[in-house]
Amino acid sequence: MKNTGFFIFTGGPGSGKTTVLTKLAEMGYLTVEETGRKIIRNQMKICGTAVPWEDAERYARLMFLQSVMDFEQLGHIDKPCFFDRGIIDILGYSRLEKIPVTPELEEAAGKYQYNKKVFLFPFWEEIYRTDAERRQSHGKAEDTFHMMKAVYQEYGYQTVTVPCLSPEERAKWIIDEIS
């Protein structure tokens, strides 16, 4: 499945992806929330263990299943849709955390194709904050940025680094990039 109207936001945690996604939603664009944070919130509600700091492998599996479901449910959309991370992010996360990459994940990374232009949000120390759902150190956030860049490029995507601007300016810059 391929949808050239599906645009990925990737990079390290805390780099402003979700804030820009919110701005784009306010502008009337379709957006898809980051699956990882959604899973963490749900697991915390039910006292589950499928969170990165307890069972990273199970957490990755749930992210994979949700990401495939998101892609399939929206596959018919013929206008721009912005995703806060995609299936290839799970591959990068698995490699970063030394979780075995399943053949199913490898196959899905090739099967579910997003627009080849991927928006890469760089680590930005001034805005990085930890919270109950985001516990990564600065170093881990930077490592995540580099891993995501490498894995998307490995799969033939063109990573475009989003400049460190206000959320409104970043949203406008992205819209200009896809126009």
- CATH number, position 155: 3.40.50.300
Is 64 a member of any domain?
A: yes
Distance CA 15, CA 141 (A): 9
pLDDT at residue 142, as a whole number: 77
Who has greater pLDDT, 127 or 31?
31
Is 114 a member of any domain?
A: yes
- The pTM for the full model equals 0.90
Who has greater pLDDT, 52 or 111?
111
At residue 83, the 3 state secondary structure works out as strand
pLDDT at residue 151 tops 90: yes
Q: Using CA atoms in the order 30, 36, 41, 42, what is the torsion angle rounded to 10 degrees?
A: 90
Query: 10 lies in which domain range?
Result: 6-178
Is 1 a member of any domain?
A: no
